[in-house]
Structure 1
Amino acid sequence: MPPIRRLIASRRRRTAVITALATCSTILTGPNLASAGGAPTPSAPIPRLDWSRCVLGSEFDCATAKVPLDYDDPGGPTIELAVVRRKAADPGRRVGTLFFNPGGPGGPGTVQMPQNYESFPREVRERFDIISWDPRGIGNSTAVNCFGSPEEAADWNAKTPAGFPVGKKERAAFTAAYEELGRRCEQRAPELVRHVSTADTARDLDQLRQAVGDQQLAYYGISYGTYLGATYANLFPGRVRAMVLDGNWDPRAWTNNASDQAAQTASFQRLGSGRSAAKTVNRFLTLCGSTTTARCAFSAGSPEATQNKYDQLLRRLRKDPVGPWTYAGTVAAVVNSLYVVQPGATELADTLQDLWERRVPEPSPLPPPPPVPNPNPYLGEEQSTAIFCGDSPNPRDPGMYHTLAEAAAARSGDTGRFWIWATAGCASWPAVAEDRYRGPWNKPTAHPILVVGNTYDPSTPHSAAQAMAQELADARLLTHEAVGHTALLNPSNCVQAHVSRYLIDGTLPPSGATCRQDTPLFSPPKPSGGVATGGGGTAGIIA
């Protein structure tokens, strides 16, 4: 998922874990394809993955891969990548390995793949080993950590508001906090923060592909993972077997069209996240207002009345927070809750109704952690910041963000402010990635790519999926008429059927195919066996 300032949790958190162990072999790879600068990168040793059960009784295996810190110096310092695997459930019909990146940037795959494993289509789980990893700089891998202790990190977090800053005082504190973070990272991790680019991670992914013995890559990336996939596809186009990009970032927008001039816009502004989030919140309120309070606690009896109730609640929270629930923290929680809408939308409606009645919402019980070691790695703000600030240009003048945020609010409302401030820490970030990849994005790949986009997504707009499909040399767009962030986390049998066939035998959906969400927000459950196929529905739907 995209980087987000600390959120007041929606009623449930959705994360999970793992880590591992391994050594380098002395076998060398062949030359990599052209690097961002156009010259071949020197070869690096293929990592050796010594798999073992993550914990006793777990179905997941763990390993650690060693890779170069700098691929321009493959014999130099190395870093470690924590890797996790779930072997194919039907080994007699195994196709190969499917690599998964859960987004972010900064999503720990060793946490999120075990948690989201059941979201993959059944036939994909049966026929592929599914592997994920914590990208360099993140979590259980060699991680960016700019604090000397957990207490220091907690003290820094306390200096920044939930959601985004409101008012001069909070904006000044926000700016000062990120200036401090930049100084700390320059002092404690000066080399690592320059080598955590998406291009570096794409090269790590190719090393892991070679480590498992696959001739070509099968890959599933969501959110930021789509940008990682597009980068891999253009660095290593001949090595693409199958690639599902779900919840897309427009690569040209993210790189500011590869311009070397100072950025005058923020990354998520260019991506259109604020407008997409506003559209998604409006859809939530429309569907909520179209049903009864028995199905949506926040309903005011009609879409218009429910929208007015929401606007009134936010105005009230600006002057009179409910316990820790401020205006900005609530806006952040609304966006976050609409990532996974079952049960996020119902829980969000309950939260908003509690706030409307001036009650502090009760948090939902956290799900049990997955059966893997270290389910709660350190995931400090500096980890995702290092990746997106190093990759994507943003204004360097801290004062610009307030101006941009207010302009975005005039277009998109409160979510516009939220997404502008999401990259404001880049103003004082001390490093630009040494090996950024900024295009081109249309190198012909060995096999076509499947691009999936939801129509109501609080982070990645459908227009970005359209842009990704157009930018890549050979891609097919599958539209998912659905609310939520990515089709993987908000599934339909129709999408899963198309994804399964594509990953297993390369069959793409028909041009212009559309699927619909199985269970629309606040609708009664379907009878057992009911399937909503939408315009792209086909026979033999994979459950």
Structure 2
Amino acid sequence: MTTASPLTGATRLRRLIVTPILLSVAAAGLACAPGRSGDAATAATGADRTSPAEARRVDQVPAPVLHWTRCRKTAQCATAELPLDYDDPHGATIKLALLRVTAKDPRHRLGSLFVNPGGPGDSARDLAEQVPQVVSKTVLDRFDIVGVDPRGVAGSTQVRCFATKTARTRTVAPLTATPFPGTPAGQRSWIGAAQALGRACSTTGRRIASAMSTTEVARDMDVLRRALGDRELTYLGDSYGSYLGLVYANLFPDRVRAIAIDGVIDPRALAGTPATAAEPLFDRIGAATASYRALRELLERCQRAGRSRCSFADANTPARFDRLAERLRARPLRLAAPGVRAITYTYANLIADTGQWLRRPDGYRGLFAELTDLARLTAPGGAGSGRAAVVRHLLSRHSAVQPGPGADNPLEAASAVLCTDGLHAADAAAWPAYAAAADRRTKYFGAAGAWITARCARNTWTAQDEDVYRGPFDHRTAAPVLVIGNKWDPVTSHDSAVTVARLLPGSRLISSDSWGHTALLTSKCVDNAVYAYLIRPMAPAPKITHCRGDVQPFS
């Protein structure tokens, strides 16, 4: 987990196409799983209507004229100016940056496919640019692939909570120095920084920060859908992007052509209630439980595989991980070797790195290599004469899962969404107790996830959106929503996908025993099902409901 947000879909498009998968759309038999109704056609009858108030908000906004220019060699870019506040359509505006890759077969074009990679705070333009490298030719022929950087993010008008870069760096330093705080002194420092960030975004950054909820992004998407000439929305969203899809589907249920969501968040858990506000957001959406479940399964598979196939294997491999964690909790490890920059490796680093490895379909290889090195270095003798080589190997593994370069305001961008979309506890000073309770509920990952939203405490993050949508999330849409759940997803649990599929009338559920965060690009079966659905969302639902991940550790 990062201090920004772990809800990034398709694991940054599988680390920006680490293993490209170019697939054709399967035959109709692999189109998608059946919905509860058993008949896709029923989803189109009796669709709920966009509320008159919501229709007035967006429909009174003229569709912006988009002036496209060539960019990034293979794409087109444009800028749209939309209302900062849809309650004041003729007032202040905000600029949104768009990128599209046009359909390869314009004569048979079906429309625009909006994509969102999650985050929140990640660039949808970057995703749209990369999508052509991995999706089927049929999808590329029939759709313009469109990415819109959400308001406040990347190429759109960015949220700026600090007057200078120096002030920002000084303020957020404790939040970036460690994945999460473990000592009382570290917790006090983290709380102070979280409160300072919340106050800064609620004062200096308030104008944009209070207008960045997912509700506003969904409204932007509806106006831009109209600007692109589409009567209804076609959308593919991963991770946090699934929440955007769900908000759109429930705000504008009769304007849905196709919505496919992967790495699905239970929207009611994210939104929260006064009764659940004291439970940190990532704990209540089940992220910690999902991480622990995936880790435990990998440790048990490693044990069954044996030392010849898994270097970390032991007579009781889960207990070996427990011992390693306790050693690092008691005494951080100083890693130094000639020619490399020395670091102090802590318990928090172990949990954060483990979480990052779990997000990759083949991450078990890197995870067990890193754990083996750590076990050698923390054992009596500390790897002996070969210590320098082990340190170098470990540092290379550790570096491989550190967040890469991205927008220069990731904390502010993620916070402005998370802190307004969901309900949170009042006082950041109470977070040590909340994190401890989360860790008791879910070992290792509870506290790691809990600390992410300390900056959202209501007493300090006061930049709120009075129109934020927090449900209900059970509207019947004009076309069935395709819900994809990954059994071993370490961030968005499969249980959430099942919950959402039951919640949305007429929706369809695909389950996959894939590894890593989100199922798309981890299973040919899932990929083919999604691509076929996007082409023919109203096709009769076939009988396939379960897929198998292409990577199966130690199989």
TM-score normalised by L of structure 1 = 0.83
Which secondary structure does the structure 1 equivalent of 2:487 belong to? strand
Task: Say if 1:128 and 1:3 are closer, same or farther in 2 by CA, change over 3 A.
Answer: farther
Letter paired with 1:347: G
Task: Please tell me whether residue 52 in structure 1 is matched to residue 63 in structure 2.
Answer: no
**Greater mean alpha carbon deviation, residues 140-149 or residues 400-409:** 400-409
Which residues in structure 2 correspond to 1:261-280 (within 5 Å)? 263-280=277-294
Aligned to 2:386: none
The offset of 1:83, in angstroms, is 1.2
| Structure 1 segment 125-144 matched on structure 2, within 5 A | 125-144=140-159
| Residue of structure 2 aligned with 1:114, choices 119, 122, 129 | 129
Verify: 1:448 aligned to 2:480, yes or no.
yes
2:361 is aligned, of 341, 344, 358, to 341
The answer as to whether partners of 2:76 and 2:101 remain within 8 angstroms in 1 is: yes
How far apart are residue 511 of structure 1 and its match?
6.0
| Corresponding residue for residue 527 of structure 1 | none
Residue of 487, 497, 512 corresponding to 2:528: 497
Structure 1 match to 2:374: 355
Question: Structure 2 CA distance, aligned partners of 1:93 and 1:42?
Answer: 28
Letter of the aligned partner of 1:99 in structure 2? Answer: F
Cα distance between partner residues in 2 of 1:520 and 1:171: 38
1:328 corresponds in structure 2 to: 348
For residues 375 and 417 of structure 2, the distance between their equivalents in structure 1, rounded to whole angstroms, comes to: 38
Q: 1:519 to 1:39 in 2, by over 3 A?
A: same
Q: Partner residue of 1:24?
A: none
1:289-335 CA deviation, whole Å, 9 max, x = no partner? 33356754x42256x32x22222221122212343321112211211
Distance 1:126 1:520, change over 3 A: farther
Question: Which residue type is aligned with residue 363 of structure 1?
Answer: S
Structure 1 distance, partners of 2:53, 2:327, is 50
Q: CA deviation at 1:442?
A: 1.9
Q: How does 1:274-289 map to 2 (within 5 A)?
A: 274-289=288-303
- 2:80 maps to which residue? 65
What secondary structure, in the 3-state scheme, does the structure 2 residue paired with 1:290 have? helix
Match of 1:312 in 2: 323
Within the alignment, does 1:407 sit opposite 2:423 as a pair? no
Evaluate the alpha carbon distance shift between residue 317 and residue 451 of structure 1 in structure 2; reply closer, same or farther with a 3 A threshold: same
Instruction: Give the alignment's Cα RMSD to 1 decimal.
Output: 2.9
Are residues 1:299 and 2:312 paired? Answer: yes
Letter in 2 for 1:50: H
Distance 1:350 1:262, change over 3 A: closer
Q: Which amino acid aligns with 2:524?
A: N
Provide, for residues 48-67 of structure 1, a one-character-per-residue CA deviation record: whole Å limited to 9, x for no partner.
22222213xx2122211111
> 1:477 maps to which residue?
509
1:453-489: per-residue Cα shift (whole Å, max 9, x none)? 001111111111111112212211110111211112x
Contact 2:59 2:223 in 1 (8 A): no
Deviations 1:49-93 (A, max 9, x none): 2222213xx212221111110111111111111111122234444
State which of 420, 438, 463 in structure 2 corresponds to 1:431.
463
> Percent identical across equivalent pairs?
37
**Would the alpha carbon gap of residues 97 and 165 (structure 1) be closer, same or farther in structure 2, given more than 3 Å must change?**
same
Kindly indicate whether the alpha-carbon contact (under 8 Å) linking 1:42 and 1:72 is maintained by their aligned counterparts in 2: no
| 1:480 counterpart letter in structure 2 | S
2:235 match:
219
Against the structure 1 CA distance between its residues 37 and 509, is the aligned structure 2 distance closer, same or farther, given a 3 Å change threshold? closer
Partners of 1:509 and 1:410 lie apart in 2 by 42
Normalised TM-score (structure 2): 0.81
Q: CA deviation at 1:42?
A: 6.0
The one of 492, 498, 504 equivalent to 1:460 is 492
Give, as a single letter, the amino acid of the residue that structure 1 aligns with 2:368: A
CA positional deviation for 1:41: 5.2
Q: 1:382-404 CA deviation, whole Å, 9 max, x = no partner?
A: 11111111110111122432223
Task: State whether residues 2 and 103 of structure 1, in contact with CA within 8 Å, keep that contact through their aligned partners in structure 2.
Answer: no
Give the SS at the match of 1:181. helix
* Secondary structure in structure 1 of the residue aligned to 2:345: coil
| CA distance in 2: counterparts of 1:483 and 1:385, whole angstroms | 28
Shift in CA distance, 82/62, structure 1 to aligned 2, threshold 3 Å:
same
Give the structure 2 partner of residue 526 of structure 1.
none
Which amino acid is 1:300 matched to?
A: A
Distance change >3 Å, CA 2–CA 497, structure 1 → 2? farther
Asked if the contact 1:291–1:299 (Cα under 8 Å) also holds between the matched residues in 2, the reply is: no
- Conserved? CA contact 1:3–1:104, under 8 Å: no
TM-superposition CA deviations, 1:178-206 (whole Å, max 9, x none): 11112222231212111111110000111
> Is the 1:34–1:41 Cα contact (8 Å) retained in structure 2?
no
Structure 1 residue 38 displacement after superposition = 9.3
> What SS is found at the alignment partner of 2:64?
strand
Counterpart contact for 1:145–1:380, Cα < 8 Å: no
Counterpart in the other structure of 2:165 = 150
CA distance in 2, matches of 1:123, 1:401: 49
Aligned residue type for 2:345: W
- Answer yes or no: is 1:102 the counterpart of 2:117: yes
Alignment partner of 1:513 is 2:545? yes
**Structure 2: 5+ residue stretches without partners:** 18-48, 335-342, 378-390
Is the Cα–Cα contact under 8 Å of residues 87 and 129 in structure 1 kept in the other structure?
yes
Change (3 A) 1:240 1:37: closer
C-alpha distance in 2, partners of 1:6/1:101? 15
**Could you tell me how far apart the structure 1 residues matched to 2:453 and 2:425 are?**
9
SS at match of 1:274: helix
One-letter amino acid of the structure 2 residue matched with residue 381 of structure 1: L
What is the aligned counterpart of 2:258 among 242, 255, 261? 242
CA–CA distance in structure 2, aligned partners of residues 2 and 35 of structure 1: 40
Stretches of structure 1 that go unaligned for 5 or more consecutive residues are: 17-31, 524-543
Q: 1:418 to 1:248 in 2, by over 3 A?
A: same
- Name the structure 2 match of 1:539: none
Q: Letter of the 1:152 partner, please give it.
A: A
| Structure with the bigger percentage of helix | 2
Contact 2:287 2:493 in 1 (8 A): yes
Q: 1:203 is matched with which residue: 216, 219, 230? A: 219
1:212 & 1:41 partners in 2: Cα distance? 15
> SS of the counterpart of 1:422?
helix
